[in-house]
Amino acid sequence: MSEVMSPARTTAPSHCPPDVPYAPGIETARFLGWFSIGLGLVELVAPEVLGDAIGVRRRGLLQMHGLREIACGVGLLSSRRPTTWLWARVAGDAVDLATLAAADDVEGARIAAVAVAGVTLLDVATASRMSAAAALEGK
């Protein structure tokens, strides 16, 4: 049975100890952290291979995307409540989609854009859940 929350309540729901943040979606956030690190490493060490597959021929740009992905991944894995890092991933997804819109190979970019859009939906859903939980706790 769900508990009715009063507007003045700023603590975690009753099923959480007081020192544990209410963080629904934390497992998904951790998955996204490892995904970010893996993708970032590919972008950083094999930009030509990835670039050929997705139609982006700018090696330095892909490596910068890789550094961003790795930073977000580390942030997601090292934070107790990585809401900010999830929103950083959403912003990065927008940059990725803009990069794909300017790609040299339209077909490869379309396929990659569909994949990025799917991950973006997961990023937004998880960030929204964690933001709502933080608001519930008054943080």
pLDDT tens-digit readout, 94-110? 999 999 999 988 889 99
CB 66 within 8 A of CB 47: yes
- Tokens 């961003």 -> residue: 68
Question: Quick one: pLDDT at residue 124?
Answer: 97
Question: Quick one: pLDDT at residue 135?
Answer: 80
Query: Two tokens at 108?
Result: 């490869």
pLDDT tier at 6 (50, 70, 90 boundaries)? very low
DSSP conformational letter for 139: -
Query: Two tokens at 25?
Result: 């979606």
pLDDT tier at 25 (50, 70, 90 boundaries)? confident
Length of the chain: 139
Mean pLDDT, rounded, of the chain: 86
pLDDT tier at 22 (50, 70, 90 boundaries)? low
Q: What is the mean pLDDT of residues 79-104?
A: 94
pLDDT tier at 81 (50, 70, 90 boundaries)? confident
pTM, two decimal places: 0.80
Between residues 9 and 42, which one has the greater pLDDT? Answer: 42
